Amino acid sequence: MRELALNILDIAENSLRAGASLVQIRLCADFLKDEMTIAVEDNGCGMSKEMAASVTDPFTTTRTTRKVGMGVPLFKYSAESAGGTFRIRSEEGKGTCVTATYRIGHVDRMPLGDFGGVVLQLVTMNPQTDFLVTVQSGGQTGVLDTREIREILGEDIPLGAPEVRAFLKEYISENLVSIYGGRL
């Protein structure tokens, strides 16, 4: 992956596959502390402790017969190679929370990339799932909650309708991306 936003998309796709009805994505950037946090939390099927461990380090833990996925290891690598940390918390039947931190100024930190575009794709292409996206930086917070949006739109207008999509594109840019000023 060349952009952290693509890792976020990939990790959120795991949540969708886990049958989550709500996926929460949080992005916090503290420029004074030089620290950025990305978290993806879902209420999907979750994993056992062993499973979570083997998914995170597929080559050091006992191999099972399942094919090795690269999504979680790539996300972990993106954080640990940029002076950050990685954590996965999961409980069977409850859900999963994946958190990565980064040193913003680290030479090997990948750029965030098109975070707004990824959020737009997630919320417009997944009518079965709700998303709560929060961006925090410099004492400001921006929120996109698809439950709120759906309530306004009613049942007959999907979030992917061209007019709604155009609205959401601007909404995301003005209410989420503007919080960190696009400088990540």
Partner 1 sequence: MKSLEELRALREKMKSQTDNRSVAGADETVIKVGMATCGIAAGARPVLDAMLDEAEKRQLHNVSISQTGCIGLCRLEPIVEVFKDGQKYTYILMTPEKARKVIVDHVVNGNVCTDYLIGENS
Ligand X SMILES: Nc1ncnc2c1ncn2[C@@H]1O[C@H](COP(=O)(O)OP(=O)(O)O)[C@@H](O)[C@H]1O
Query: Rule CB under 6 A: which of 4-63 touch ligand X?
Result: 14-15, 18, 42, 44-47, 55
Q: Candidates 64-72, 118-126, 150-158, 168-176 — which segment interacts with ligand X by CB under 6 A?
A: 64-72
The DSSP symbol for 67 reads P
Beta-carbon-side half-sphere exposure of residue 109 (alpha carbons within 13 Å): 20
Distances (CA, A) of 102 to 38, 63, 131, 136, 174: 8, 29, 23, 15, 24
Q: Candidates 27-35, 44-52, 69-77, 110-118 — which segment interacts with Mg ion by CB under 5 A?
A: 69-77
Cβ proximity to partner 1: between 100 and 104 the closer is: 100
**Binding mask of the shown chain, residues 36 to 75, with x at each position contacting partner 1 by CB under 8 A:** ---------------------------------xxx--x-
The Cβ of residue 71 has, within 10 Å, a number of other Cβ atoms equal to: 16
96 binds, among partner 1, Mg ion, ligand X, none (CB under 5 to 8 A by kind): ligand X
Collapse the DSSP code of 68 into the 3-class scheme (helix H, G, I; strand E, B; otherwise coil) and give the result: coil
Beta-carbon-side half-sphere exposure of residue 59 (alpha carbons within 13 Å): 4
Interface with Mg ion (CB under 5 A):
14, 71
Interface with ligand X (CB under 6 A):
14-15, 18, 42, 44-47, 55, 69-72, 96
